[in-house]
Amino acid sequence: AQSVTQLDSHVSVSEGTPVLLRCNYSSSYSPSLFWYVQHPNKGLQLLLKYTSAATLVKGINGFEAEFKKSETSFHLTKPSAHMSDAAEYFCVVSGFYGGSQGNLIFGKGTKLSVKP
Amino acid sequence: DAGVIQSPRHEVTEMGQEVTLRCKPISGHDYLFWYRQTMMRGLELLIYFNNNVPIDDSGMPEDRFSAKMPNASFSTLKIQPSEPRDSAVYFCASSRSGKGAYEQYFGPGTRLTVT
């Protein structure tokens, strides 16, 4: 079965400093992994996705994530935080049933706060 | 493309009333998902469809909830009768099968308040 664990429920950084949001996954298959972002009172927006083509994945707004199979991790990073990055971030693994597409398994979310 | 469209965006109703939430998926997408988000329980998958057929409804909380997808461009989630504990934001999402990572595209959500 697939599962995902976001290691921090809340991360606070200062504007201009690096961001690290941690995610570990468990999957019986070669997983597809995603990060979604949700700004206050908004829907979820896809930040980036990993599909086994390259272990370092670049997304929108300067975010990137690295797939590390040996560590079963897919941490999200950004070199320099911006005030507009304040939001909730979800790490997601695909759930496959018998080789066919299934639902997505969402982590519980990490709330990112950015201080001026 | 207009993206996933949900209506209404906000719904306030009294306990016991019937509530119908609507969703139009992205054209060409053959999967449709309904989620519920609350502070207490986070994001929960309620049900999902493939080619208009319900595949997994194990997340539907109880018989008061029902979902239909009469055609590829429309789905409804109905709550009858509604209760205050149903207050949440309900999201619809769609995706396309085939090669790729099966990412889902989310609508803006319907904020439901049951008084």
Burial class (CB in 10 A: 0-12, 13-18, 19+), A95: buried
Between B48, B100, B103, which is nearest A103 by CB? Answer: B48
Q: What is the pLDDT of residue B2?
A: 81
Q: What is the pLDDT of residue A2?
A: 79
Say whether A106 and B95 touch across the interface (CB within 8 A).
Answer: no
Q: What is the pLDDT of residue B8?
A: 97
φ and ψ of B26, to 5 deg? -65, 135
Instruction: Using the structure block, give the residue that is written with the tokens 């950084």.
Output: A13
Q: What is the pLDDT of residue A101?
A: 57
The mean pLDDT value for B98-103 works out to 69
Taking alpha carbons only, the member of B7, B59, B4, B11 closest to residue B32 is B4
Average pLDDT, chain B: 92
Say whether B102 and A32 touch across the interface (CB within 8 A).
Answer: yes
Sign of CA dihedral B58, B45, A48, B105: positive
The residue in chain A having the minimum alpha-carbon distance to the alpha carbon of residue B110 is A43
Q: What is the pLDDT of residues B56-69, one digit of tens each?
A: 898 898 899 999 99
The residue in chain A having the minimum alpha-carbon distance to the alpha carbon of residue B38 is A108
Question: pLDDT below 50 — which residues of chain A?
Answer: 97-100
Q: What is the pLDDT of residues A37-51, one digit of tens each?
A: 999 888 999 999 988
Q: What is the pLDDT of residue A99?
A: 44
Question: Does A68 lie at the interface with B, CB-CB under 8 angstroms?
Answer: no
Whether residue B61 has a cis bond before it, omega within 30° of 0:
no
The mean pLDDT value for B24-28 works out to 95
Instruction: Using the structure block, give the residue that is written with the tokens 């040996």.
Output: A70
Q: What is the pLDDT of residues B68-93, one digit of tens each?
A: 999 999 999 999 999 999 999 999 99
Q: What is the pLDDT of residue A52?
A: 75
Q: What is the pLDDT of residue B99?
A: 63
Token reading at A16: 């201009």
Say whether A43 and B106 touch across the interface (CB within 8 A).
Answer: yes
Q: What is the pLDDT of residue B1?
A: 64
Say whether B95 and A101 touch across the interface (CB within 8 A).
Answer: yes
The residue in chain B having the minimum alpha-carbon distance to the alpha carbon of residue A108 is B42
Q: What is the pLDDT of residue A68?
A: 93
Chain B hits for A102, Cβ within 8 Å: 55-56
The residue in chain A having the minimum alpha-carbon distance to the alpha carbon of residue B88 is A41
Give Cα separations from B95 to A56, A105, B30, B37, B61 (angstroms): 24, 14, 6, 19, 23
Angstroms from B97 CA to nearest CA on chain A: 7
Whether residue B81 has a cis bond before it, omega within 30° of 0:
yes
